[in-house]
Structure formats: structure tokens, C-alpha cells
């Protein structure tokens, strides 16, 4: 019977358990995207906390694809800081996967100083402003840059890469009929809307070789009228599986998806947890590669049941590990109490204003108990 703390392998990468730290922007990089020493300490602590795999915050492949301050970039000039980061994780016995992104129409002109680009020049609720349509030559350049970023990640000591094809960012924008109105080979049918994703995947695979894990974070649905639907997501997942992807992490929603965004708030009851599980289980049934599921997991028994019933192969956590970086270790040691995160999303603010995310609720509680932090 499958268990949370099984040791597993993904394309040669050995993972100590089935818990993944899902990608989480920390806002701890320099203005140019260079990781800070503070970030290396943050990751070392996460690794000590026991998650089998840590996925980094979304890392831009080109500066015009940035969204938030303190976001990481994957440039050749950052070799020393990147190596320090991967060494910090390996020193604690952890594994680290770099998440690659271009934010497309969700990029922030305030951060980049340039007009965002997207598959089509259309207004969309998820876009802060009207983006410019990507010309074919630039699509080709971006495909190449995903590969180059992945090759650097391997060179810098990362154990895997993950393409961010979820949450309304550029690859997701190509997949969604709402944001992709192109009439060329990249738009129209689902097959054509999948083309950019598959070209990015192939470019990445070519750059890192067969023996290096390439993962994809995919929306099981955009939870948005006219956006990516579950059948389309299954089509994309199957296409990736046929290409040889090493694992798919299933999420759902975009910033425009109302109460069904990727980062839902107020998960107080068991029924509100695991909100992407039906989408993930559907994809799990349709593919052969390992499937990870993320979104609202807070209860040990629920995580344990998902693994035991093989509804997914891995469970990924983001906010619970901001509040309790050592939650996997705690569960493994037998304290199976619910994760203490109350899903308020208060942790974003210090990432924007104070040079790095942390759990504001934890801070208030500690201060009220007079504990120094």
C-alpha cells in the first residue's frame, strides 16, 4: 500500500517522500532576479523540514516576463548565487526543482518597464493592461529561452525543472481560448493552442537531456467562463505524457477566477480542502506519468488517503509550509495535527513590502505570547 513517506524516484531523482513544496514566490531576490543569501537560508530550512521535493518560486526566463518584486531570474550571471542555493538544499539532504515562467500578459509593466506581451492583444480580466501580440519570431525566441533557462538550472545544480503552464501565465494564455485568439499555427483548435506548451517542453527536454526530470505545472481547468476546460487540460496532459514529461502537477484557476483562484482563502472545513483533487484525479486516470496535486491540503488523513487511494502520486503544499516549514517532519514524527495555516493569504504582503514572505498570523501569535522572532 502506498504511503506518504515512501521513497520514490522520478527519472533518476530520488525523493524521500510524496510531499512536495509547491512553487512559492518569496520576494527575496535582488532587483535583477539574483537570489539573496536570505533565500538560500530559507530553502535550507525548508529542506530540513522534510518535504521530498522543493519547487522554487516562479523564475523568469526573460526580464520582460516578471510580475512581482524580488522574483528570481535564471541568468548566466547568477551562477554563484544559484549554486549557493542548490548547495544549501543538498546540504540538508533535500531536492530542488526550478520553476520556469514567462508571465506574458500578467507581467507587470511597473516591474519590467515594458509593455507586456501575450498570445493576443486583447483585454482580459487577468491582464493589468492591454498586452502586445507576440510576433512569431518572439515566440521562437521564448521557446528557446525556456530551454536555455533549463540548461542553466541543470548546470547550477538543480535536480529538476518545472515549466509553469498554470495560473494564467504565458503558457496557460496560449492554452486558453479566452486569451489566445490567434489565427496562425498557435491558435484555434486545442491542438494548436497546445503547440507553444509542447514546443517549450521539447526545447527544455532537448536542452537538459533525457536523464533529467522535466515537470509541468498545469491547470486542470481555469475555473473561468471561456477559459481552459477540464477536457482541454486532459488533452494537454496526455500530449505531455506522450512526449515523455516526468510528472504533471495539477492546479486550477487564474487571478480572474473569483473564489476559485489557485490560492483560495478561508479553508476552514475538511470539505473545502483539496480543491483541485477532482481535476487532478481525472488527469491521473488519463496519463501514465506521476501526477502531483496542489491546492488546500491541510489535513494529514486527507493527504494520506489521496496517496493510499492513488488519486495522485504526490501532494504539494505551499502556504502550510510558509507557516510551518517543518510540517512534513512533524507529520512523519507522529504529530498528525492539521496544518496551522488558516489560508488568509496575509503572507503575500511582506513579500511585497518587507523583502520577503512570512506568516503574519504566526508573527502576531508569537508577539502576543511575548516570544522573540
Q: Which residues are catalytic?
A: 169
Q: What is the DSSP letter of 272?
A: G
Nearer to ligand SF4, 10 or 359 (CB): 359
The grid coordinates listed for 126 are: 487577468
CA–CA dist 198, 192 (Å, integer): 10
Q: What is the DSSP string of 214-229?
A: EEEEEES---STTS--
C-alpha torsion angle, residues 114, 120, 121, 122 (rounded to 10): -120
357 sits near ligand FMN (criterion: CB under 6 A): yes
343 sits near ligand SF4 (criterion: CB under 6 A): yes
Choices 120-128, 136-144, 218-226, 317-325; region in contact with ligand FMN by CB under 6 A:
317-325
299 sits near ligand SF4 (criterion: CB under 6 A): no
Nearer to ligand FMN, 349 or 366 (CB): 349
**Residue from 88, 96, 283, 347 in contact with ligand SF4 (CB under 6 A):** 347
Q: Using CB under 6 A, which residues numbered 302 to 321 contact ligand SF4?
A: 319
Q: In the stretch 90-129, what mask flags binding to ligand FMN with x, by CB under 6 A?
A: ---------x------------------------------
For residue 57, the partner it binds in ligand FMN, ligand SF4, none, with Cβ less than 5 to 8 A by kind, is: ligand FMN
For residue 342, the partner it binds in ligand FMN, ligand SF4, none, with Cβ less than 5 to 8 A by kind, is: ligand SF4
The DSSP bridge pattern shows strands 8-10 and 13-15 to be antiparallel
Q: What is the DSSP letter of 5?
A: T
Count of beta carbons in the 10 Å neighbourhood of residue 241: 17
Give the nearest distance from C-beta 265 to ligand SF4 in angstroms: 8
326 sits near ligand SF4 (criterion: CB under 6 A): no
What radius of gyration, in Å, describes the C-alpha atoms of the chain? 19
**Residue from 17, 323, 325, 351 in contact with ligand SF4 (CB under 6 A):** 323
Choices 18-26, 162-170, 268-276, 341-349; region in contact with ligand SF4 by CB under 6 A:
341-349
Q: What are the start-end ranges of the H helices in the chain?
A: 37-48, 79-91, 109-112, 136-155, 170-175, 190-193, 195-208, 230-243, 277-286, 300-308, 319-323, 327-332, 348-353, 360-368
Q: Are 117 and 110 in contact (CB under 8 A)?
A: no
**Residue from 322, 325, 327, 356 in contact with ligand SF4 (CB under 6 A):** 322
Amino acid at each position: 500500500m502506498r504511503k506518504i513517506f515512501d521513497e520514490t524516484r522520478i527519472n533518476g531523482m530520488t525523493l524521500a517522500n510524496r510531499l512536495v513544496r509547491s512553487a512559492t514566490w518569496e520576494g527575496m531576490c535582488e532587483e535583477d532576479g539574483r537570489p539573496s543569501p536570505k533565500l538560500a537560508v530559507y530553502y535550507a530550512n525548508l529542506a530540513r523540514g522534510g518535504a521530498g521535493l522543493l519547487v522554487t518560486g516562479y523564475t523568469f526566463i526573460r526580464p520582460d516576463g516578471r510580475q512581482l518584486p524580488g522574483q528570481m531570474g535564471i541568468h548566466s550571471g547568477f551562477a554563484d548565487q544559484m549554486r549557493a542555493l542548490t548547495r544549501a538544499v543538498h546540504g540538508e539532504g533535500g531536492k530542488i526543482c526550478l520553476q520556469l515562467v514567462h508571465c506574458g500578459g500578467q507581467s507587470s509593466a511597473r516591474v519590467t518597464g515594458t509593455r507586456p506581451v501575450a498570445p493576443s492583444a486583447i483585454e482580459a480580466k487577468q491582464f493589468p493592461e492591454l498586452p502586445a501580440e507576440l510576433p512569431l519570431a518572439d515566440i521562437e525566441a521564448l521557446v528557446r529561452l525556456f530551454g536555455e533557462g533549463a540548461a542553466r538550472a541543470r548546470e547550477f545544480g538543480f535536480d529538476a525543472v518545472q515549466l509553469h503552464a498554470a495560473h494564467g501565465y504565458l503558457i496557460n494564455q496560449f492554452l486558453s481560448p479566452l486569451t489566445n485568439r490567434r489565427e496562425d499555427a498557435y491558435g484555434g483548435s486545442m491542438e494548436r493552442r497546445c503547440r507553444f506548451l509542447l514546443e517549450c517542453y521539447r526545447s527544455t527536454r532537448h536542452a537538459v537531456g533525457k536523464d533529467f526530470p522535466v515537470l509541468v505545472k498545469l491547470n486542470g481547468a481555469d475555473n473561468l467562463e471561456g477559459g481552459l476546460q477540464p477536457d482541454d487540460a486532459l488533452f494537454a496532459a496526455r500530449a505531455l505524457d506522450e512526449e515523455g514529461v516526468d510528472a504533471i502537477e495539477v492546479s486550477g484557476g487564474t487571478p480572474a477566477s473569483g473564489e476559485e483562484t489557485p490560492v483560495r482563502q478561508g479553508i476552514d472545513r475538511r470539505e473545502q480542502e483539496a480543491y483541485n483533487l477532482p481535476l487532478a484525479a481525472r488527469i491521473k486516470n488519463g496519463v501514465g506519468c506521476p501526477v502531483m496535486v496542489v491546492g488546500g491540503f491541510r489535513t494529514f488523513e486527507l493527504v494520506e488517503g489521496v496517496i493510499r487511494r492513488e488519486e495522485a502520486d504526490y501532494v504539494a503544499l505551499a502556504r502550510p509550509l510558509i507557516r510551518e516549514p517543518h510540517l512534513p517532519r512533524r507529520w512523519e514524527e507522529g504529530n498528525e495535527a492539521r496544518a496551522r495555516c488558516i489560508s488568509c493569504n496575509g503572507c503575500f504582503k511582506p513579500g511585497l513590502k518587507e523583502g520577503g514572505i512570512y506568516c503574519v498570523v504566526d508573527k502576531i501569535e508569537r508577539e502576543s505570547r511575548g516570544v522573540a522572532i
